[in-house]
């Protein structure tokens, strides 16, 4: 039986795989970026929980990260914006990931252009997704 944290991250990863972009989890940046783009889900940090004592519950605001990358020779900004919008639409469609997460909230991306010698530049951003959930213990 997976922990609450793992169940939520696995559900988020499964939802991201429904998008056209290649989705990886805690993986390295591949040598080639698919035309549809790339999303790498980083598990992130659960942070310090708020604790209630009766009953004992740990309330987390876990900060997972989505590394979003596109590399197309023409229309990079449009392709990047389309991928970001698709991620936003997918996240807003079910902010509880089927009821296993109390709420998820993406933060706005700060994008950067990364020049690549001899190839089209990369456009990338990190989107922090705050996952609010409650567990019965720090390892549950």
Report the SS3 class of residue 48: coil
Residue-wise pLDDT tens digits, 2-22 = 999 999 999 999 999 999 999
Condensed to tens digits (0 to 9), the pLDDT of residues 42-100 reads: 999 999 999 999 999 999 999 999 999 999 888 999 999 999 999 999 999 999 999 99
Q: What's the pLDDT at 107?
A: 97
pTM to 2 decimal places: 0.94
Across 31-56, b (16+ Cβ under 10 Å) vs e yields eebeebbbbbbbbbebeebeeeeeee
| Ordered structural domains, the chain, with CATH | 4-135 (3.30.70)
């Amino acid at each position: 039986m997976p922990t609450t944290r793992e169940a939520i991250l696995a559900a988020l990863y499964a939802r991201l795989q429904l998008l056209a972009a290649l989705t990886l989890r805690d993986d390295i940046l591949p040598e080639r970026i698919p035309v549809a783009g790339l999303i790498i889900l980083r598990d992130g940090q659960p942070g310090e929980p708020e604790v209630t004592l009766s009953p004992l519950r740990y309330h987390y605001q876990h900060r997972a990260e989505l590394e979003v990358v596109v590399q197309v020779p023409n229309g990079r900004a449009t392709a990047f914006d389309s991928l970001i919008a698709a991620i936003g639409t997918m996240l807003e469609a079910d902010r509880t990931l089927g009821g296993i997460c109390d709420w998820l909230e993406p933060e706005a991306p700060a994008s950067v252009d990364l020049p690549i010698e001899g190839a089209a530049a990369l456009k990338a951003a990190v989107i922090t997704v705050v996952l609010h959930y409650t567990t019965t213990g720090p390892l549950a």
